[in-house]
Chain A
Amino acid sequence: EDKVVQSPLSLVVHEGDTVTLNCSYEVTNFRSLLWYKQEKKAPTFLFMLTSSGIEKKSGRLSSILDKKELSSILNITATQTGDSAIYLCAGNTNAGKSTFGDGTTLTVKP
């Protein structure tokens, strides 16, 4: 059975701090790993990482896929209170099936 594990489960930091969120995956016929941000409602897409695109960056957020270690990290620099959310990681198979981790709840205090 496919499995995605995220750590830590929760994290509290202060504005301006840098955080690193972790995701490890065991996904049969792995195709891609996705990161989502979920605030009070639906998850919104952040990054997709594949074997041909193992590093992505957008503003203060960046993510790397380590194909050897079957893991990924999401970095957020200079955190802001608006970054407070649940960050979800999902592993996708070639058939398009997604397995999500339990998420990391990030709280950024002023």
Chain B
Amino acid sequence: KAGVTQTPRYLIKTRGQQVTLSCSPISGHRSVSWYQQTPGQGLQFLFEYFSETQRNKGNFPGRFSGRQFSNSRSEMNVSTLELGDSALYLCASSPRTGTDTQYFGPGTRLTVL
């Protein structure tokens, strides 16, 4: 099976812009979680989607949003980018919600200038 894929792999934006990141889970996996990883804050949970519904949400401002499509692919959107949003954004998939083992994608490295 193909692994989790994320696009784009690298992205450079300026403050105030918005960005959309995409994640395609492993075939058959229906749960997709998003994480932000920075050197100072470590790996922080953003949200989880299952069957097109947001099931869990981390402590991030409303500028961070996401959605999931019927084919389980997920997108994450960040509006009004700030310098502090520069990070590696990781997506992880699992067969169903509440599953412990997650399979991570390679991440999207976002740089905000």
Task: Point out residues on A near B: beta carbons under 8 Å.
Answer: 1, 31-32, 34, 36, 41-45, 48, 50, 88, 90, 92, 94-103
Contact = CB atoms under 8 A, between A and B. Distances in A.
A103 B43 contact: yes
Contacts of B35: 100
A96 B98 contact: yes
Contacts, number: 56
Contacts of A102: 41-42
A97 B49 CA distance: 11
Interface residues of B, number: 25
A95 B98 CA distance: 5
Closest 10 CB pairs of A and B: A96-B98, A42-B104, A102-B42, A100-B43, A97-B56, A32-B100, A41-B106, A43-B104, A42-B106, A48-B100
A34 B101 CA distance: 8
